Amino acid sequence: MKLIEGGVCAAKGFKASGVHCGIRKNKTKRDIALIVSEKKANAAAVYTTNLVKGAPLLVTKSHISDGYAQAIICNSGNANTCNANGIEVAEQMSALLASELGISEKDVVVASTGVIGQPLNLEPIANGIPSLVKELKADGTDNAAEGIMTTDTVKKIVAVEFEIGGKTCRIGGIAKGSGMIHPNMATMLVFITSDVAISTPMLQKALSFDIQNTFNMVSVDGDTSTNDMVTILANGLAGNKEITEENEDYKIFMEALNTVMVQLCRLIAGDGEGATKLLECKVDGAKDIKTAKTVAKSVICSSLLKAAMFGADANWGRVLCAIGYSGADVDVNKIDVSFKSIKGEIAVCKNGAGVEFSEEIAKEILLEKEIDILISLNSGEASSVAWGCDLTYDYVKINGDYRT
């Protein structure tokens, strides 16, 4: 397996585009994106667990209930959520696109991201759809990735190439996510495409499984959004024998999918609102996987620890504190903690108590952009990883006046 260029257009038969249609005032920012497969694809999705669900999610869920989709349309700048006419607008958005593409509106995945509770004006979208379709290109992933950005500062694009049964296959994805990101959700907006032939039930199974260890282990701010969704379209153009059971081919597919999803997780966490650092919390020695996950999530979500990481302060007591209130059943007196970056690794806590360490070396390690928080519970064999970011002045700045 190797990383390749192309994002959502890396897989055979996919084109993408992104244009400015006028939802946002800033005319230099693309605010709507489109991804289209040349043939109908098998489709799977997972959705936010928030009880308040964006209207587009409800419409998408209905559309792909037959297991198929061919196009994905997503606007940024307005979440189309908590609006009296939300469903109607999302359905019209689908219908307009379907008509322009000459496909069924039931084959459209529709998504929106941005501010909640302000009616989404259909007019700019209706005006933008023709050029969105006209702009579709085999190298359009960059424009699509920009079209779905809100407070994101970087485009999140990844693709891999691998072989199944002698056939070259690809999986690629783009993601949007910077704030309102937290575990226990179906996650931020992620669109994944593949040319692998795989049945809809197996596609859903693979996605639902991998989500547990990837997007559900990401937290930027503890707020689970109303509009999170991960969708995957697989059009089968790679020509492999269709995957319909958990065989060797399925394992290869799962590994490739996991690679794409982990990479998107890292991109999302590292680009958390205001973030200066990507934090990776790795827990091992847990008595079971649930304990490992609970501990990793609790630590990655601690505002106090996140602020300490911003300050490159090796305040490991906050790690212990977050483990302690996580609700996980751990033996505090067996916990070891280290901090690690490309500058090296430093042990700060052994058996639940502090060890002497050089604050200077710790500082040097923590001043890097990617920090690993390593926790050994020394009580079993299970492990887990969670991704997050530091808490900074800019997080407050971005969210103190998001709507203006």
Binding site for a second copy (CB under 8 A): 49-53, 79, 81-84, 115-119, 179-180, 182, 184-185, 221-226, 301-304, 307-308, 310-311, 313, 315-318, 320-326, 328, 330, 332, 349, 352-354, 391-393, 395-404
- For residue 127, what are the CA distances in angstroms to 19, 27, 75, 96, 114? 11, 14, 13, 10, 20
CA pair distance 207, 266, nearest whole angstrom: 18
CB of 294 to a second copy, least distance (A): 12
CA pair distance 241, 255, nearest whole angstrom: 18
**Nearer Cβ to a second copy (69/328):** 328
Classify burial at 65, counting beta carbons within 10 Å of its beta carbon; exposed 0-12, middle 13-18, buried 19 or more.
exposed
The tokens describing 189, both together, are: 């907006």
CA pair distance 209, 44, nearest whole angstrom: 12
The catalytically annotated residue of 60, 113, 187, 392 is 187
CB of 218 to a second copy, least distance (A): 15
**Nearer Cβ to a second copy (112/193):** 112
CB of 56 to a second copy, least distance (A): 15
**Nearer Cβ to a second copy (19/391):** 391
**Nearer Cβ to a second copy (10/322):** 322
CB of 79 to a second copy, least distance (A): 7
What is the β-pairing status of strands 189-194 and 229-234? parallel
> Which residue type is seen at 24?
R
The tokens describing 33, both together, are: 């994106």
Classify burial at 306, counting beta carbons within 10 Å of its beta carbon; exposed 0-12, middle 13-18, buried 19 or more.
buried
* Cα 35 from chain centroid (whole Å): 17
Nearest CA to 157 out of 23, 35, 340, 20 is that of 35
CA pair distance 87, 255, nearest whole angstrom: 36
Q: Determine whether 392 is an active site residue.
A: no
CB of 118 to a second copy, least distance (A): 7
- Bridge partners (DSSP) of residue 35 are 16, 72
CB of 399 to a second copy, least distance (A): 3
Alpha helices in 271-358 (DSSP H): 289-301, 303-310, 317-324
**Nearer Cβ to a second copy (130/354):** 354
**Nearer Cβ to a second copy (184/247):** 184
Kindly list the catalytic residues: 187
